[in-house]
Structure formats: C-alpha cells, structure tokens
Amino acid sequence: MADGQRKCPDCGSEMVEGFIPDKTFGGMLVPRWLRGSPERSIWTGVKTRKRECRSIDTYRCVKCGLLKSYAIRSIDPSAFWG
C-alpha cells in the first residue's frame, strides 16, 4: 500500500512494510488471500481456480511490534510473486 506513512492503531508509532513468507517444499513464496473456504485438490493441495485472489501486504510497528495485514492488490492465484 503505497499511500504514505502508516501509523500503528495501538500506539501511534511508525509501521514499516514487510511480508511473512509462505514456506514451501524447496523454497518460499509471497503469501496471498483467496476468497472462500479451502477445498482440497489432489494435484495442488488446495483449489484456487475461479477465486478472487489478492497479495498480502504486512506492516509491523517499530515500537510495539503489532502486525497488520492488508489484501488490496488483485493478482493471478498461480502467480509466484504476489
């Protein structure tokens, strides 16, 4: 979310952008949010087709450590980077 400096809702300090990696076999991915409940897939573990998918942006407060995540940017569910 590139709309200026974020302030912590708990203590009012600055929040810095980062991400929580999605660890997989053989690597790490950028996390994403998908609409609805997870449905099992034999091939990929979870079905993602025809679902709204968004990249997850996370911010951390420099003072109290609060993490706040946002799912603003729409992406392709199969995209490696969110």
Taking residues 6-20, what's their average pLDDT?
95
Binned at pLDDT 50, 70 and 90, residue 1 comes out as: very low
Structure tokens at 52: 């709204």
**82 close to 31: Cβ distance less than 8 angstroms:** yes
> For the chain, what are the domain ranges?
6-70
What pTM value is reported for the model? 0.73
Q: Which helix (H) or strand (E) holds 24?
A: strand 22-24
Q: Which helix (H) or strand (E) holds 70?
A: strand 67-70
Scored b (16 or more CB within 10 A) or e, 43-81 reads eeeebbeeeebbbbbebbbeeeeeeeeebeeebebeeee
